[in-house]
Amino acid sequence: MASLDAIRPSSPSPSAGGTLSPNDLARNLIRYGGSFLPCLIERADGAYVYDQTGRALLDFTSGQMSAILGHKHPEIVATMKAAADEPVHLFSGFLSEPVVKLAEVLADLLGPKLSRSILLSTGAESNEAALRLAKLYTGGHEVIAFDLAWHGMTGAAFPTTFSASRRGYGPQLPGVMALPTPYVYRRPDWAGDGFELDMLDYAFGLIDRQSIGALAAVIVEPILSSGGLIEPPPGYLARLHEKCRERGMLLIVDEAQTGLGRTGAMFASEHHGITPDIITLSKTLGAGLPLAATLTSPEIEERCHERGFLFYTTHVSDPFPARIGLKAIEIILRDHLTAHAAKMGAQLNVMLRELQDRFECVGDVRGRGLLAGVEFVRDPASKMPVPAFGAAVSRRCFELGLCVNIVQLPGMGGVMRMAPPLTITAQELAQGVDIIGAAIGDCLAAGLLDQG
């Protein structure tokens, strides 16, 4: 059996130059999307991760958009250590104090209309539970999602994920329909304010003609993250909820990346003045650990229970992650991190708009709080997507010491996603934006914009 030292890049390697390539590092792994970065991460602390050489990378994605308090937060670490001495995993029929308490805390945060919860592990799992509740409650099976949505990779969630490749996996669940994403930046030149609301009316006319009379739910992100950091315009989600009620459907809001303060509000739904019928939380809830929740109203839970709602999973209601979720919420509330996210997000927006003034290839700057996006284009007039250029900027950022995301999806340009931890400092934000500016300049100087 090989030791860890045997795979360190300082060891002999089959790759040219004596260093291990991503393919060398992943030789025993199933590659699950994109490519691996050419480094091994050995430690993480605060807003930084460090590779095997000790090189620091400023983490502008909070891991997988999940480490909302940064890496190695001392109170989270202490809670994990203490929780390891308590029950970690239990039979699903048992309840424990952390699970009961976390359900109470979430009910207090979300109010009586979203006061019943189930605690799970992943975002896809929480969306699976939400869709099952909606189908059982309404008696329908037809589900609608944005055409740039990402709700997960599992059985019922994957058919509602339109921003990823769907080819090669056979037929999806019947009854899933796409709703045009209200993409304000790419609104047609001839369209004015209100265009997205008009399109919503038109789209539901098409849905009504396609439906077999079994509409169950609409599932949406309040800010589409993987779809390109796109937020519906004011009034859109409220109108969408009205259309759901008119048809006896439920509105599910997926707050995997927007929940728990990241956007400058505890939940991004608050920006739109709506209370959905079901809300799902994940990524941010566990502060980097696998923890998710699906919440709904007492009425919906009661009816579904009467009809035999079934959602046993191996790690439903596990006490260990529930303790971490409780501590994460405690820290966010105690340290006023929602307000901090709003303040830091405003500073980030100003700095990104300064980049937009410097570089014509920065077509749009958008987002809320510490969830921001930059869309790269050939020029402001044409808004032509340049995904290869965006990917090059992302790679150059990595080389210069910054980890950021580029969304490269069919029909889209390169959109750089940023989701720094809520504990980020103004100095760290400025450092990250300086690196982005340097990376853009380097890629322009290399003529990479002309390559798309």
Residue 107 maps to which CATH number?
A: 3.40.640.10
The continuous run of DSSP H or E covering 374 comes out as strand 371-376
Per-residue pLDDT tens over the stretch 206-257: 999 999 999 999 999 999 999 999 999 999 999 999 999 999 999 999 999 9
Q: For residues 281 and 295, is the Cβ–Cβ distance under 8 A? A: yes
Domain with 414 in it: what CATH number? 3.90.1150.10
441: in domain: yes
Judge if 354 and 326 occupy the same domain.
no
Query: What's the domain count of the chain?
Result: 2
**Catalytic site positions:** 150, 221, 254, 257, 283, 417
pLDDT on residue 169: 87
99: in domain: yes
pLDDT on residue 182: 96
Q: For residues 428 and 350, is the Cβ–Cβ distance under 8 A? A: no
Confidence of residue 16 (pLDDT cuts 50, 70, 90): very low
> Which DSSP letter does residue 196 get?
H
Q: For residues 218 and 245, is the Cβ–Cβ distance under 8 A? A: no
213: in domain: yes
34: in domain: no
Judge if 227 and 314 occupy the same domain.
yes
Q: Is the pLDDT of residue 133 over 50?
A: yes
pLDDT on residue 20: 60
Judge if 93 and 107 occupy the same domain.
yes
Judge if 294 and 382 occupy the same domain.
no
Annotate 217-262 with DSSP letters as a single string.
EEEE-SSBTTTTSB-PPTTHHHHHHHHHHHTT-EEEEE-TTTTTTT
Per the structure, the complete domain to which residue 314 belongs is given by 78-334
Q: Is the pLDDT of residue 13 over 50?
A: no
Helix (H, G, I), strand (E, B) or coil at 48: strand
More reliable by pLDDT, 314 or 2:
314
Judge if 360 and 263 occupy the same domain.
no
Count helices and strands (H / E) in the chain: 12, 15
33: in domain: no
Quick one: how far is CA 170 from the chain centroid? 26
Q: Choose one of 306, 334, 362: the last residue of a domain.
A: 334
Judge if 134 and 271 occupy the same domain.
yes
Per-residue pLDDT tens over the stretch 76-88: 999 999 999 999 9
Judge if 113 and 262 occupy the same domain.
yes
Sequence-distant (≥ 6) Cβ neighbours of residue 312 within 8 angstroms: 92
The continuous run of DSSP H or E covering 56 comes out as strand 56-59
Q: What is the mean pLDDT of the chain?
A: 92
Judge if 420 and 441 occupy the same domain.
yes
| Whole-angstrom distance, CA of residue 328 vs CA of residue 305 | 30
Judge if 175 and 237 occupy the same domain.
yes
User: Is this structure's pTM higher than 0.85?
Assistant: yes
92: in domain: yes
Judge if 324 and 433 occupy the same domain.
no
| Whole-angstrom distance, CA of residue 166 vs CA of residue 156 | 13
Judge if 203 and 252 occupy the same domain.
yes
Judge if 393 and 289 occupy the same domain.
no
296: in domain: yes
Sequence-distant (≥ 6) Cβ neighbours of residue 157 within 8 angstroms: 124, 127, 128, 131, 151
205: in domain: yes
Q: Choose one of 314, 334, 354: the last residue of a domain.
A: 334
Q: Choose one of 334, 366, 391: the last residue of a domain.
A: 334
